[in-house]
Amino acid sequence: MQFKNQNKQFLSFLPGVLLVFLGGCAQFDSLLSTSDTPADTPSSRPAESAAIAVAGDAPFPALVITDTGADSAKVSIQAELLNEIPVDDVAETFTLSDEEVLAVGVDVAEAESDAKFGATDDDVWSRIRAGFELEEYDHRRIKREFAWFSRHPEYIDRVAKRARPYLHFIIEEVESRGIPTELALLPIVESAFQPFAYSHGRASGIWQFIPSTGKLYGLKQTWWYDGRRDVYASTRAALTLLQRLNKQFKGDWLLALAAYNSGAGTVSKAIRKNKKRGKPIDFFSLGLPRETRGYVPKLLALKKLIADPEAVGMTIAPIPNEPYFKRIDIGSQIDLALAADLAGIKIDELYQLNPAFNRWATDPKGPHYLLLPLGQVDEFETALNKLPKKDRVRWVRHKIRNGETLSTIATKYHTSVTLIKRTNRIRGTQIRAGKSLIIPVASRSAPTYKHSAEQRKSRTQNVSRKGKKTHHTVQRGDTLWDIAQLYKVGVRALAKWNSMAPTDTLRLGQKLVIWSNKSAKVSVIEAAHHALPPNRSITKRIGYRVRRGDSLSRISSKFNVSVAQLRRWNKLPKGKYLQPGQYLTVYVDVTSQTARS
């Protein structure tokens, strides 16, 4: 049972009630006579089988604890005060152990709260509400976030709808660890329960793991699969991380949550700084990053809202308190479209429960499991058992042509070089024209797998935006910053247009979409020289000391590079003159240099 501050009032007068009981109150005797329990006098029965009634001006619904044996007591909770409704008209009955009898006021308060919101044991929100443990704060940041949530019920509706497939599993995991159930609401703050959420900081999934932290907590990330989006694996990893942070910050959940957002080092540094200045070290007193200062208040505001949605005239759609999915071991790679057919569901629903898979099939190296709707499990397992493993993925024979590489072949068939090499037992990267390769391929056309990484990125790139649409093919040495400078656009905007984060690595030959103002023109010379020379084996980085009389134009001509490249490599603002002795970095193609000095 969970003890709460508001129940101290009940516990304060409980000893008085017990004294009344010990005195053999006639009112209690008459009440007990209406039950199925023999009307023994209190003094003739063991203390553990006591009857307790709270009536009159008590702040809680009426209680009757009647004897059901020496080891437990049956508690009846009435909707009205005891002196207004007969004992037989009870709303709910349950059994308490002897040690729990004195805590009955807590359950009364919680039962009263659930009745107020129309919640039942069949509602996950009620289950979450019952386990709230975090202290309530009256802080302006929480008030601000609460006001926003209160003004946007449509947002809460959308979040609740998205949360439905995942929330029962999450609360099960939270409760099994004995941690505050408020943590089950954290994906609302992190991602609004969007399984394919991806931030500018490269955080992914409903729990928003960055790549390095994901790997540290066992979330595999490959071309085929990203465990940060795996609802099953990432939930367990996130809760483990939160528990470790809570232990690190000596049981302070607010500091643990802050560390989850900005890193334990950031929070520890802020604590040390406040200690040195003799200031408090609670969350609200620390000088944390702006995002983190709002992060924890958002969760506390959500708690307040979920605890009493009717206070702001809001109704939260109930979520059944039962499993939505089951994890099924499949043992090998399988085409996702085929898996959806075997389960009798649409492939969109399969991706919704299994957003970790980047491509048209599961990762050939695992994990070998799928999350499936509970009602489709039997159908899927029966069909899967009848299907040989060799038929779970379609294969084609490809005859190698002149000029083809493993990379170009993999791109053509939407598969990976690693898988082609392993399937065909190729050690290096050399292949010979005329030979054949066995290649796994998707059973359906690419648009069928519309939630795969390629299709998600394609949809983002095809969104119509302001400005003129331009396509850019990534060349060796390109960076997002270079390309953004070339087309006079922002790095974050460029990343967003292409479903990327600003720090993501570009791939040679990758196609990017740029939306620039019609007035922004890229000169032919600048476009030709915006990247490093194509062959890095003949590209050298050199240091050049500026001489008297030098200019950017003269230096660019000397090394056969552009002025724009010199500015970019050395972060030189326009209008600033070079100074004799100044050091410059220059990347030169040694094959294009002459004997000029």
**CATH number, domain containing residue 562:** 3.10.350.10
Q: What total of structural domains would you count in the chain?
A: 5
Residue length of the chain: 597
Counting Cβ atoms within 10 Å, is residue 331 exposed (0-12), middle (13-18) or buried (19+)? exposed
Whether 447 is in a domain gets the answer no
Do both 245 and 157 map to the same domain?
Answer: yes
Rounded Cα distance between 368 and 364, Å, is 8
Whether 498 is in a domain gets the answer yes
Mean pLDDT, all residues of the chain: 77
Whether 422 is in a domain gets the answer no
Q: End of a domain among 477, 512, 529?
A: 529
pLDDT tops 50 at residue 172: yes
Q: How confident is the model at residue 268 (pLDDT cuts 50, 70, 90)?
A: very high
Reported as a single tens digit per residue, the pLDDT across 184-206 is 999 999 999 999 988 878 899 99
Do both 524 and 552 map to the same domain?
Answer: no
Whether 420 is in a domain gets the answer no
Report pLDDT for 28: 31
Q: What is the CB-side half-sphere exposure of residue 131 using CA atoms within 13 A?
A: 20
| 160 closest CA partner among 297, 303, 319 | 319
Give the global pTM: 0.61
Query: Under a CB-based contact definition with an 8 Å cutoff, are residues 48 and 70 in contact?
Result: yes
Rounded Cα distance between 283 and 5, Å, is 21
Q: Does the annotation count 190 as an active-site position?
A: yes
Rounded Cα distance between 384 and 376, Å, is 12
Query: Under a CB-based contact definition with an 8 Å cutoff, are residues 170 and 184 in contact?
Result: yes
Query: Under a CB-based contact definition with an 8 Å cutoff, are residues 324 and 165 in contact?
Result: yes
Q: What is the CB-side half-sphere exposure of residue 413 using CA atoms within 13 A?
A: 25
Query: Under a CB-based contact definition with an 8 Å cutoff, are residues 221 and 214 in contact?
Result: yes
Rounded Cα distance between 92 and 109, Å, is 13
Do both 254 and 378 map to the same domain?
Answer: no
Q: End of a domain among 529, 549, 584?
A: 529
Do both 190 and 148 map to the same domain?
Answer: yes
Please tell me which residue in 110, 173, 182, 190 is annotated as part of the active site: 190
Report pLDDT for 26: 36
Do both 293 and 204 map to the same domain?
Answer: yes
| CA geometry: angle 142, 147, 150, nearest 5 deg | 125
Reported as a single tens digit per residue, the pLDDT across 425-450 is 888 888 988 898 988 888 777 767 77
The neighbour count for residue 99, using CB atoms within 10 Å, is 9
Q: End of a domain among 263, 279, 312?
A: 312
User: Averaged over 479-495, what is the pLDDT?
Assistant: 84
pLDDT tops 70 at residue 212: yes
Report pLDDT for 15: 43
Do both 523 and 546 map to the same domain?
Answer: no
Q: How confident is the model at residue 96 (pLDDT cuts 50, 70, 90)?
A: very low
Do both 46 and 19 map to the same domain?
Answer: yes
Whether 517 is in a domain gets the answer yes
Report pLDDT for 263: 95
Do both 265 and 359 map to the same domain?
Answer: no
Do both 513 and 573 map to the same domain?
Answer: no
Whether 146 is in a domain gets the answer yes
Reported as a single tens digit per residue, the pLDDT across 271-310 is 999 999 999 999 999 999 999 999 999 999 999 999 999 9
Whether 166 is in a domain gets the answer yes
Do both 85 and 42 map to the same domain?
Answer: yes
Do both 151 and 75 map to the same domain?
Answer: no
Report pLDDT for 566: 86
The neighbour count for residue 101, using CB atoms within 10 Å, is 18
Report pLDDT for 337: 93
Q: How confident is the model at residue 366 (pLDDT cuts 50, 70, 90)?
A: very high
Report pLDDT for 540: 63
Q: How confident is the model at residue 597 (pLDDT cuts 50, 70, 90)?
A: very low
Do both 98 and 81 map to the same domain?
Answer: yes
Q: Which residue has the higher pLDDT, 92 or 455?
A: 455
Domain of residue 381: give its range.
325-387
Question: What sign has the CA pseudo-torsion 166, 171, 177, 180?
Answer: positive
| 117 closest CA partner among 319, 320, 315, 322 | 315
| 133 closest CA partner among 298, 297, 1, 285 | 1
Rounded Cα distance between 585 and 543, Å, is 5
Whether 238 is in a domain gets the answer yes
User: Averaged over 367-387, what is the pLDDT?
Assistant: 96
